[in-house]
Structure 1
Amino acid sequence: MNSTPAATPTTTPATTPGPAPAAAPAAGLLAGKVALVTGAGRGIGAAAARLFAREGARVLLAARTEEQLAAVTAEIRSAGGTADHVRCDLAEPDGVRAAVDRAAELYGRLDVAFNNGAAFTPPRPLDEVTEADFDHLYAVNLKGVWLAMSAQVAVMRATAGQGAIVNNSSVGSLGANPRLPAYGAMKRAVNSLTESAAVTYGPEGIRVNAVAPGNTRTRMIRTWEESDPGLSDRLAARNPLRRAAEPAEIAEAALWLLSDRASYVTGTVLRVDGGARA
């Protein structure tokens, strides 16, 4: 009978358990930040809201149309993001301020804002622009942006202590714009507000930039094309990439400017135009 003793099992020496590892930070360029997006019901604004949520932000969507806002908010939530919405007409000062304050009420702070909302009126030469259209473009595209920025700076200062703002301008603001003279003028004024705010609030750690989209597949271009058939094709032929941008591509530029990756960028108007103005 084999009397060889049974082998002694080997064991790994016990180790003293250390503290539990810290949870890995959430992934995303806006992880842990609270973002406000105006004009978020469709187009570039909706694309930005979706993207910012995917990049870790808690997002408040603002626009005039409740149904569109609710749909985009539900889409973000179903994808696992955090979002809410508030109705806001940029031509109504009290509503603009209330929308900005709502971000702090919901999430306790405001870190970044994308002032994307804008109005559009039919393309026509300067002497055919109606006074009503001019006043509407001023109220929404310029005064609305000024109101939003003023409120955003105040809330960022009081909560996060720093922040970043991106305004949506247009390549149509960078030179003559004979078909959209009033629209181009308001957007050029937004560029000036952007630069002035960057100088004013930079010492507080609040960066302010703008994106200037070129031809983009939005309702504005579709509406313009109704009175100018073939517009999209002509615009695409004028840029080296030979195509229009998707709204998400403009949102990506805004995302970078709002993120800490752009921590040394302020006071710039970034062209996102496929090289059309190169």
Structure 2
Amino acid sequence: MAGPTRIAFLASETASAEGALDRLTAQYGQCAPEQAEVIVALGGDGFMLQTLHATQGFDLPVYGMNCGTIGFLMNEYHEDGLADRLAAAEEEIINPLRLKATRPDGTVVEALAINEVSLLRAGPQAAKLRISVDGKVRLEELVCDGALVATPAGSTAYNYSAHGQILPIGSDVLALTAVAPFRPRRWRGALLPKRATVTIEVLEPAKRPVMTEGDSRGAGVVSKVEIRSEATIRHRILFDPGHGLEERLCREQFL
């Protein structure tokens, strides 16, 4: 099967990615995203997330090549045979999280996050959070440095660093994970159905302020955040055969 010929190359602002951009566009040409068949992102995982957010409206597959430091969502960088690699690539579909954050002054901010939505203390004292799932209070008070809800694609990122569980990409599960929990002691979080709506309320917000982020993009200090999977939005990520997210998530657990 012939590979795509209309490729939109996008690169991070690092020297290695920009150099790769020059060489690849000289070899394969350059196409605007709105006219392309596929997007090739050159950088690391952070740039892949930026690319997915920026090109969401095009419904195009995105193939990443690692010019960064982590590259969990990226393929190995090789310049030759790109058309054949794109033709053989396997597609993974992921849905982002939608967060609806209410600030102390009553204003509401909405955003999307592909990896995770996190709430973190914004002052010297530990946060106090109340956690509800589908309108039912499940944890009356969590004293901690923060909490996060992660997708399977993001379960090896901040969630894993906070000792959350790694999720298979097709599991239809979300990870709810505490960051440095103090009370309840050693609370390890929960696995929730993908269809669940998680509401996290900030207790004593004036004394113990909390800020929220989606994929490390800040939404400011908040009093309440509602988080749910957004099934109407699909991100299409391409991987070389045998190196997709399923394999990477499995391999990560046996390192």
**TM-score bracket relative to the smaller structure:** under 0.3
The structure whose residues are more often helix, as a share, is: 1
TM-score for the superposition, normalised by structure 1? 0.25
Larger radius of gyration: 1
TM-score by length of 2: 0.27
